[in-house]
Structure 1
Amino acid sequence: MIIMIGMDHTNASLDRRSCFAMTKESMRRFIPFLKKELNAEGVVLLSTCSRFEVWVSGDHIHPETVIEKVCNYPDQSGAFASEDFMIRKEERAVRHL
Protein backbone atom coordinates (compact mmCIF):
# COMPACT_ATOMS: atom_id res chain seq x y z
CA MET A 1 0.00 0.00 0.00
CA ILE A 2 1.14 3.56 -0.72
CA ILE A 3 -0.05 6.34 1.57
CA MET A 4 0.61 10.06 1.45
CA ILE A 5 -0.21 12.37 4.31
CA GLY A 6 0.49 16.04 3.97
CA MET A 7 -0.45 19.65 4.09
CA ASP A 8 0.04 22.46 1.62
CA HIS A 9 -0.93 26.06 1.03
CA THR A 10 -4.51 25.03 0.21
CA ASN A 11 -5.28 23.49 3.60
CA ALA A 12 -2.75 24.91 6.07
CA SER A 13 -1.26 28.30 6.80
CA LEU A 14 2.45 28.95 6.51
CA ASP A 15 2.67 29.00 10.31
CA ARG A 16 1.17 25.51 10.53
CA ARG A 17 3.36 24.14 7.72
CA SER A 18 6.47 25.68 9.24
CA CYS A 19 5.99 23.52 12.35
CA PHE A 20 7.11 20.61 10.17
CA ALA A 21 10.08 22.29 8.53
CA MET A 22 13.13 20.06 8.82
CA THR A 23 16.82 20.51 8.31
CA LYS A 24 18.79 17.92 6.37
CA GLU A 25 20.06 16.54 9.66
CA SER A 26 16.58 16.19 11.16
CA MET A 27 15.41 14.46 7.95
CA ARG A 28 18.29 11.99 8.29
CA ARG A 29 16.95 11.05 11.72
CA PHE A 30 13.23 11.29 10.92
CA ILE A 31 13.07 8.99 7.89
CA PRO A 32 14.70 5.94 9.57
CA PHE A 33 12.66 6.60 12.72
CA LEU A 34 9.40 6.58 10.77
CA LYS A 35 10.40 3.56 8.70
CA LYS A 36 11.15 1.59 11.87
CA GLU A 37 8.09 2.78 13.81
CA LEU A 38 5.72 1.90 10.96
CA ASN A 39 7.57 -1.20 9.80
CA ALA A 40 7.44 0.44 6.37
CA GLU A 41 9.16 -0.72 3.21
CA GLY A 42 9.92 2.85 2.24
CA VAL A 43 9.50 6.45 3.39
CA VAL A 44 9.85 9.63 1.34
CA LEU A 45 9.66 13.11 2.83
CA LEU A 46 8.89 16.26 0.85
CA SER A 47 9.32 19.45 2.83
CA THR A 48 9.21 22.86 1.13
CA CYS A 49 7.82 26.26 2.04
CA SER A 50 4.49 25.34 0.46
CA ARG A 51 4.23 21.58 1.08
CA PHE A 52 4.92 18.99 3.73
CA GLU A 53 4.27 15.42 2.64
CA VAL A 54 5.20 12.02 3.95
CA TRP A 55 4.96 9.08 1.58
CA VAL A 56 4.96 5.60 3.07
CA SER A 57 4.83 2.19 1.43
CA GLY A 58 4.24 -1.11 3.16
CA ASP A 59 1.67 -3.58 4.34
CA HIS A 60 -0.90 -2.84 7.06
CA ILE A 61 -0.06 0.86 7.36
CA HIS A 62 -2.91 3.20 8.29
CA PRO A 63 -2.89 6.96 7.58
CA GLU A 64 -3.91 7.80 11.15
CA THR A 65 -0.88 5.90 12.46
CA VAL A 66 1.42 7.80 10.10
CA ILE A 67 -0.06 11.11 11.28
CA GLU A 68 0.32 10.09 14.92
CA LYS A 69 3.99 9.17 14.45
CA VAL A 70 4.70 12.38 12.52
CA CYS A 71 2.99 14.61 15.09
CA ASN A 72 4.59 12.89 18.06
CA TYR A 73 8.11 12.83 16.65
CA PRO A 74 10.39 14.46 19.26
CA ASP A 75 11.16 17.48 17.04
CA GLN A 76 7.45 18.24 16.50
CA SER A 77 4.88 19.92 18.70
CA GLY A 78 2.28 17.14 18.55
CA ALA A 79 -0.48 19.77 18.47
CA PHE A 80 -2.02 18.53 15.24
CA ALA A 81 -4.86 16.20 14.38
CA SER A 82 -5.72 14.06 11.39
CA GLU A 83 -8.04 16.83 10.14
CA ASP A 84 -4.95 18.99 9.57
CA PHE A 85 -3.63 16.60 6.93
CA MET A 86 -4.65 15.53 3.46
CA ILE A 87 -4.67 11.77 3.06
CA ARG A 88 -4.20 10.03 -0.26
CA LYS A 89 -3.91 6.30 -0.87
CA GLU A 90 -2.76 4.03 -3.67
CA GLU A 91 -3.53 5.34 -7.19
CA ARG A 92 -4.79 8.68 -5.91
CA ALA A 93 -1.50 9.19 -4.06
CA VAL A 94 0.54 8.23 -7.11
CA ARG A 95 -1.42 10.61 -9.36
CA HIS A 96 -0.79 13.43 -6.86
CA LEU A 97 2.96 12.93 -7.04
Structure 2
Amino acid sequence: MKAIWNNRVIAESENTVIIENNHYFPPESINKDFFKSSDTHTACAWKGEASYYSIQVDGKENKDAAWYYPEVSELAKSIKGYVAFWRGVEVVK
Protein backbone atom coordinates (compact mmCIF):
# COMPACT_ATOMS: atom_id res chain seq x y z
CA MET A 1 0.00 0.00 0.00
CA LYS A 2 1.07 3.56 -0.69
CA ALA A 3 -0.11 6.83 0.84
CA ILE A 4 0.15 9.67 -1.68
CA TRP A 5 -0.37 13.40 -1.25
CA ASN A 6 0.58 16.26 -3.57
CA ASN A 7 1.90 13.67 -6.06
CA ARG A 8 4.46 12.27 -3.60
CA VAL A 9 4.56 8.90 -1.83
CA ILE A 10 4.59 9.76 1.86
CA ALA A 11 4.29 6.18 3.19
CA GLU A 12 4.63 2.71 1.71
CA SER A 13 4.20 -0.72 3.27
CA GLU A 14 3.12 -4.29 2.56
CA ASN A 15 2.10 -4.64 6.22
CA THR A 16 -0.71 -2.19 6.88
CA VAL A 17 -3.41 -3.01 9.43
CA ILE A 18 -6.99 -2.26 8.38
CA ILE A 19 -9.36 -1.00 11.08
CA GLU A 20 -12.65 0.76 10.34
CA ASN A 21 -11.74 0.96 6.62
CA ASN A 22 -8.48 2.81 7.35
CA HIS A 23 -5.05 1.44 6.48
CA TYR A 24 -2.67 1.98 9.39
CA PHE A 25 0.95 2.10 8.21
CA PRO A 26 3.84 0.92 10.41
CA PRO A 27 5.75 3.93 11.81
CA GLU A 28 8.94 2.95 9.99
CA SER A 29 7.09 3.05 6.64
CA ILE A 30 6.38 6.79 6.65
CA ASN A 31 8.77 9.30 5.09
CA LYS A 32 9.43 11.42 8.18
CA ASP A 33 10.69 14.33 6.02
CA PHE A 34 7.04 15.07 5.14
CA PHE A 35 5.56 14.82 8.67
CA LYS A 36 5.31 17.57 11.28
CA SER A 37 3.89 16.93 14.75
CA SER A 38 0.63 18.71 15.53
CA ASP A 39 -0.87 19.81 18.84
CA THR A 40 -4.21 18.24 17.83
CA HIS A 41 -5.55 15.28 19.82
CA THR A 42 -8.86 13.43 19.65
CA ALA A 43 -10.32 10.57 21.66
CA CYS A 44 -11.67 7.24 20.48
CA ALA A 45 -13.76 5.28 22.95
CA TRP A 46 -12.08 1.97 22.17
CA LYS A 47 -8.65 2.87 20.75
CA GLY A 48 -7.48 5.70 23.01
CA GLU A 49 -6.19 9.22 22.38
CA ALA A 50 -5.02 10.00 18.85
CA SER A 51 -2.17 12.36 18.04
CA TYR A 52 -1.81 14.03 14.64
CA TYR A 53 0.74 14.99 12.03
CA SER A 54 0.45 17.71 9.43
CA ILE A 55 1.94 16.74 6.08
CA GLN A 56 4.22 19.13 4.23
CA VAL A 57 5.15 18.38 0.62
CA ASP A 58 6.80 20.77 -1.84
CA GLY A 59 5.74 23.89 0.10
CA LYS A 60 2.13 22.79 0.65
CA GLU A 61 0.66 21.77 4.01
CA ASN A 62 -2.20 19.38 4.77
CA LYS A 63 -3.01 20.11 8.42
CA ASP A 64 -3.70 17.13 10.68
CA ALA A 65 -3.93 14.76 7.69
CA ALA A 66 -2.38 11.81 9.54
CA TRP A 67 -3.11 10.34 12.94
CA TYR A 68 -1.71 7.68 15.21
CA TYR A 69 -2.18 6.30 18.70
CA PRO A 70 1.00 6.54 20.80
CA GLU A 71 -0.74 4.59 23.58
CA VAL A 72 -3.66 2.26 22.93
CA SER A 73 -6.20 0.13 24.71
CA GLU A 74 -5.73 -3.64 24.78
CA LEU A 75 -8.24 -3.92 21.91
CA ALA A 76 -6.14 -1.72 19.61
CA LYS A 77 -2.63 -2.96 20.42
CA SER A 78 -2.08 -4.00 16.78
CA ILE A 79 -1.97 -0.32 15.71
CA LYS A 80 0.11 1.23 18.48
CA GLY A 81 2.22 3.91 16.77
CA TYR A 82 0.83 3.08 13.32
CA VAL A 83 -0.20 5.99 11.07
CA ALA A 84 -3.48 6.44 9.15
CA PHE A 85 -4.53 9.16 6.71
CA TRP A 86 -7.45 11.31 5.59
CA ARG A 87 -8.04 14.84 4.21
CA GLY A 88 -7.19 14.04 0.63
CA VAL A 89 -4.33 11.62 1.19
CA GLU A 90 -4.87 8.80 -1.31
CA VAL A 91 -4.18 5.25 -0.12
CA VAL A 92 -3.67 2.84 -3.04
CA LYS A 93 -2.17 -0.55 -3.85
**TM norm structure 2:** 0.31
Q: Which has the higher strand share?
A: 2
Q: Which has the higher helix share?
A: 1
